[in-house]
Chain A
Amino acid sequence: MIRASQVASRIRVQVLDKQWDGAIRHVAAGASQTTVFVERREDLSAVAASAEHPSVKHTVWAGTCVERPDRSLIFHSGLLPDQLAGLLSGKPPRDAGPAGQIPLEIETGPAVAAVTGAIVEAQRRLPEARFRARWVEFDQQVKIGYGGAVFDDRRSTRRIRIDAALERSDRAATASAERVIKNDNNYISDVISEIIERLEARMNAADPVAGPTTVVFAPAIAGVWIHELVGHAAEADTAMRGRSWLTPDIDSLPAGLTVIDDPRRARASWKFDDEGTPVRPVALIHEGRPKELLHSRRTAAEWGAKTTGHGRRGSYREPILPRMGCTFIANGTDDPNEILQNVQEGIYVRRMESAHTDPTTGRAVFRVTDADRIRCGKLVSPLKPHLLETVAGKALEAIEGIGCDLAFDRCIGTCHRKGQPLPTSVGAPTICTRLMTVRF
């Protein structure tokens, strides 16, 4: 059994020191409307397929960028505070500093202990299966200078994922499960229990029937759907170019549908975005009507809207984009069991990931990796992996049930937009919609 004490939280210390504050203020004072962004980021990945041979990848980077009022960007890795003015003016900076090392915040030991412990535990419980455990952790500290002020923020998260494969005579199955690690007790035991249960069940997976179908999403899973369909369409730069299906005049969505993005609830939450704007929750759809967009400072000014604090960059090398933090469907009033019982034929989706999204048309394709067939209101058999195609307007209009069991982060992913990765969260209650298409 893996105990929480093995991955006990650590007290974080400030790694970007106060010298930066003076340098940033100095630059900002001489260049109005200019944003200074300083980042120090650390990533750790520990992977084990056997208890004896874990692999570890541990990286740390530091960098700075200056974004001018005309949106031009100048960036440089590993600068020291006294080189910041040179970056803005184009003067050659000296080498990035004397020999030394960038301070390390993340410890490797707990991650390695967690993945090797998970493998030992999983193999003890189902010796004939093959398991792979992966721990992913990141810690980012940023300083943002704008308008004479300096804003500090820190984003960090840890998660574990276990994949399993099982072959028995002429049958085979795979299953995956994951958790965001907070201060849970026995979280790895829970993940292992979940994955073994699904692995056994999926040994009897059947072919899905291609074509139109009714879909019930398990708690949290419709968050993936809504992230792709609504969230990307509500990113203001897309909407402002007229490339979003989600227009303000849409009035055919169910009145019970409310979609919110609140980065403060994200697994890697932020208080200030990467322009120093305080974050606030935004209702993208409120009771069936499109309401607000996700804004960076620039898009808010051009749109004449309030800032929302959603301007993020994948790293100091990238420009600001409006991005999602934690997108979720608000709780409805329907009983999740009744939602399922009302479906005569359909599929119950337990895990899926995005394969393709087009916010202009609202069309999206998802890879469903774990689902069950629904017949006469009951789950009757697991289904082989397949694709699910959906068109936003039609599928959202066809929502027939919104449960009261809102959950988060059961399918954890990284959102990639214009080549910029960002850890995001999603959430949803049990949701039923009629108009989706199975491709198999």
Chain B
Amino acid sequence: MSRFDEWAGRSDVSIDTIANLLEKTSSDHGRGPVEGFHRSSSTRRLECGGSSGEVVSRIGREQGGALRWIDPRHEALGFAAASGGAAVALATCRAIASKTPGKPVDACPWNIEALPVEDVDASTGMPTLEEMEDWLRKYSPEPVDSAWVEAGLSTETWLTCPQNRQTRVRARAWAMWTPREKAGTSAKPLFLAARGWSELLRLDPTEAWRDRALSRDRERPWPADAKLVFSPETSAILARMLATTTHRPGASLGTPVGPGWVLTARPDDDTGSLFGSLVDDAGFPSTSRILADGHHVTGDWGGPGSLRRASFRDSPEPVPVSLRMHPPRLDPPKRSVWVTRIDLHPAGDGWMAELHGRQYPDGVAFRPSWMRLRPQRLLETCLGGVGPARSSHIGMTTPALVFDAWSFKAE
């Protein structure tokens, strides 16, 4: 173990100490209740790029704390965050809170009592830089424009109303590659993410490379009136955008959906899913929900248990996580387009989408095509799924989704 490893893995204060500081901060605040949070994380990343194949490391440690408070009508939010050990960070947050106008009355919009949870990942081992380099070299396509792999370990402690105390230790591993395409051709990065290094070792990105390679040299015009089969990677992007829109808090329950739109939110799945956790990022218990059953919209992903922080500097916000599509399995449609890339841009009541695809399964690639996509039309034309379900780095697990032929003008 290197000297850096020694200190990177060493916690300067115990979770108990942090929890006590949070408790003291809340009781001493004097302006009303607050929600307190502290995170300490270690990360190491290896990056390789360019024609030289130079490998560069980035390792470090970051600590920070945050306080949150809410006004009497639950309409306005106060949030303070500061970096540093728990004592410094929370003292700074208190100073910020004391200067913010308005008197808070609540720390969170839901007065939920929860049992204390200590949610610790089963495998929290960090890889050595040598192990990371071996892995990166094994799975990087040739040639690569840039690639990196990162492993991280975080310890989080928080105190919410009414004095719920939770702790969580999480391991994460991420990787990204941007393959070098031929001159004048754009490349889209490919991401991979897993719950810790040992989980990353189980994944194999090579199938995605094969898909990318087969989709080059696109010349033929996009066929009209063909069923569309989205690769698991593109299905995840599309399904997550649809879920974000269609199942947002306050969604219209009962809206009709196609037989393939069977969706659950499983934020409480703590058995290895990327974002699964017994509690959310505000300390509230996570619960599963059925969002659609192949006939209608039946639920939304918001409320307590859905709050997530982008970092300790960000206030927890409701977001859809750990979503799973369970479409009925279909045989691959005979005449269909295999969509290998999708770029979605918000436009009016839906999106403008640029789609890349090829004849399914290994046929010629088509010229990229633009389409206007409307959420309701997409939901109604989702027929089912093909092949095994895959987990993506954006928290969506889905097989390749099959959509009925859309009416669009190919360009």
**Which residues of A does B touch, CB under 8 Å?**
43, 50, 53-63, 65, 70-78, 89-102, 104, 107-109, 112, 240-243, 245, 317, 319, 355-356, 358, 360-361, 363, 365, 367, 384-387, 439-440
Contact = CB atoms under 8 A, between A and B. Distances in A.
Interface in B351-396: 352, 354, 370, 372
A50 B75 contact: yes
A81 to B, nearest CB: 14
A101 B84 CA distance: 9
Contact of A241 (B75, B78, B145): B145
Contacts of B13: 95
B10 A61 contact: no
Given A78-B83, A387-B352, A101 B60 contact: no
Interface stretch (B112-120, B182-190, B262-270, B319-327): B182-190
A107 B99 contact: yes
B77 A55 contact: yes
B345 A365 contact: yes
B82 A57 contact: no
Contacts of B372: 440
B73 A53 contact: yes
B101 A99 contact: no
Interface stretch (B50-58, B232-240, B242-250, B280-288): B50-58
Main secondary structure of the interface of B (DSSP, over half): mixed
A109 B98 CA distance: 12
B105 interface: no
Contacts of B94: 101
Contacts of A65: 60
B88 A99 contact: yes
A58 B185 contact: no
B95 A77 contact: no
Max chain B C-beta neighbours (<10 A), residue from A54, A94, A112: A54
B79 A77 contact: no
A289 B82 CA distance: 47
Contacts of B54: 71
A358 B186 CA distance: 6
A76 B61 contact: yes
28 contacts: A58-B80, A60-B83, A61-B64, A63-B83, A65-B60, A71-B54, A73-B56, A73-B57, A73-B58, A75-B59, A75-B61, A77-B84, A78-B84, A92-B10, A96-B12, A99-B88, A102-B84, A104-B99, A107-B99, A241-B50, A360-B185, A361-B186, A367-B345, A367-B346, A385-B347, A385-B348, A387-B345, A439-B352
Contacts of A89: 3
A43 B58 CA distance: 25
B87 interface: yes
Contacts of B169: none
B79 A56 contact: yes
Interface string B1-35: 01110110010110000000000000000000000
Interface in B275-325: 313, 315
Contacts of B315: 57
Contact of B7 (A91, A319, A367): A91
Given A59-B82, A96-B85, A387 B99 contact: no
A72 B58 CA distance: 6
A99 B87 contact: yes
Contacts of A76: 60-62
Interface of B: 2-4, 6-7, 10, 12-13, 47, 49-51, 54, 56-64, 66, 71, 73, 75-85, 87-89, 91-92, 94-96, 99-102, 145, 181, 183-187, 313, 315, 343, 345-348, 352, 354, 370, 372
Given A360-B186, A361-B186, 20 more contacts: A59-B79, A59-B82, A60-B81, A60-B92, A61-B83, A77-B83, A96-B12, A96-B88, A97-B84, A97-B88, A99-B88, A100-B88, A101-B82, A101-B94, A104-B95, A108-B99, A108-B100, A108-B101, A242-B183, A360-B183
Contacts of B60: 65, 73-76, 317
Contacts of B77: 55-57
A355 B351 CA distance: 12
Contacts of A439: 347, 352, 370
B63 A77 contact: yes
Contacts of A367: 345-347
Given A53-B73, A75-B60, A90-B7, A97 B85 contact: yes
Contacts of A54: 76, 101-102
Nearest to B313: A59
B76 A53 contact: yes
Given A59-B313, A74-B4, A440-B352, A94 B12 contact: yes
A361 B188 CA distance: 13
Contacts of B61: 75-77
Contacts of B64: 61, 77
Max chain B C-beta neighbours (<10 A), residue from A60, A317, A439, A440: A60
Contact of A102 (B71, B88, B99, B313): B88
Contacts of B47: 319
A360 B85 contact: no
A73 B58 CA distance: 5
Max chain B C-beta neighbours (<10 A), residue from A56, A71, A365: A56
Contacts of B66: 59
Contacts of A99: 87-88, 91
B343 A60 contact: no
A99 B12 CA distance: 13
A98 B183 CA distance: 55
